[in-house]
Amino acid sequence: MPFGLIRDLAAEDAMPNTQQLIAEGVFRRMTSSIPEISSVAWSSVITGTNPGVHGIFGFTDLAPGTYRLVFPNFNSLKAPPFWEWKRSGRSVILNVPSTFPARPLNGVMVAGFVALDLERATYPPSLVPHLREMDYRVDVDAQTAHKSLPLFLQDLEHTLQARIKAYRYLWEREEWDTFVLVFTGTDRLAHFLWDAYEDPTHTYHTAFVNHLRRIDEVIGEIARRITSNDVLMMLSDHGFGKLEYDVYINFFLRQRGFLKLAKDPPRGPQDIADGALAFALDPGRIYFHLKERFPRGPLSRADREALLDELTAAFEELEIEGRKVVQRVYRREEIYTGPQAERGPDLVLLPHDGFNLRGSLKARKLHGKDVFTGKHTHADAFLLVWGEGARESTPDRPSVSDVVHVMEELRERRRG
């Protein structure tokens, strides 16, 4: 959810409880991770580190020294989440993305997207029958939206109500020092129906706003339950905006001669050919085909600097219908620091508004459009902190990796 949407709906009284928290607390525009995708952003939120430390660079990666696509999960995280830090106390962690499979902790966890089954998503296991009684769902069935938006909205509502039941059950039965509750339906809603939010005459505009109203009701309920010694923090892991074009970066690399494939259509990264110089993984991560990193890579480390310059210039020139696609080209060294940094992409592309970068190897055109009407954005996530000491502890321009440090500083103030 973007800063502007929360600000506007609160001001319009669609989210009155949030409006009160904004008036009494600290409300900041927050930058997301680079790239601005949930697996990277939430890993940064819960560890307080960048991908060069926590090691999560995207929803997908390549196994070291191979072209085999892998899907990093909670076991891939190289930095401890805050609930495993010393003096963190007892935690309830409900629906945080990229925490599957759940592992033992001092408290309770129900992992969020992507969770393959509820049993391995839940700790302790004794909680599973209670979740099943609630008809708890880890996520909305997004495939429904491809078939029927009314059915998608029904599923969204059911998932939200089950999540609220689970939060109330755990709040009332568990002793805890930190309670984390994540609503991910807002992301699914904005992907499929961002146009409905922007257009008040849209068939589903009211449904979009009403979903946020119901979440605001829960926010108000939580605010009334906490004490003067507690702190309430609200945040989004990234912003959202209008999606006009999906841009296929590997097609562009093929056009410019940087990428060659051994088969057409390719099965996947395993069909990247010997002569390829670079390729992309979602959403805009560019990897150089270095011989020290990939079995068929033709490039030496000495070739890297020239290719950095050449590809940066190529991406900066990329236009669709007279509009620049790439807002900024980041080198790995600019955004990643830490022991995992060398595993990261050589370049990361930040798109301009309206453009969504895709890493499909099978694309046969530079740009297109699917059913999504909304896309993630980097610069307009939000952070709202409410409680004593919030103003002193919250940076003017926070990033997702600052969140737990704000939380820890506020915790120390209370201990002091």
What are the distances in angstroms from CA 131 to CA 135, 158, 215? 6, 14, 20
Structural domains in the chain, CATH included, are: 3-238+378-415 (3.40.720.10), 244-368 (3.30.1360)
> Quick one: three-class SS letters along 193-261?
HHHHHHCCCCCCHHHHHHHHHHHHHHHHHHHHHCCCCCCEEEECCCEEEEEEEEEEHHHHHHHCCCCCE
- pLDDT, tens digit (0-9, with 9 covering 90-100), for 217-257: 999 999 999 998 899 999 999 999 999 999 999 999 999 99
State the pLDDT at residue 87.
86
Decide if pLDDT at 81 tops 80: yes
Q: Is the pLDDT of residue 416 over 80?
A: no
What is the mean predicted confidence (pLDDT) over 60-88? 96
314-346 pLDDT tens trace: 999 999 999 999 999 999 999 999 999 999 999
- Counting residues of the chain whose pLDDT is more than 70, the rounded percentage is 100
| Predicted pLDDT at 301 | 94
Q: How many CB atoms lie within 10 A of CB 162?
A: 16
Mean pLDDT of 203-216: 98
> Which pLDDT tens digit goes with each residue over 335-377?
999 999 999 999 999 999 999 999 999 999 999 999 999 999 9
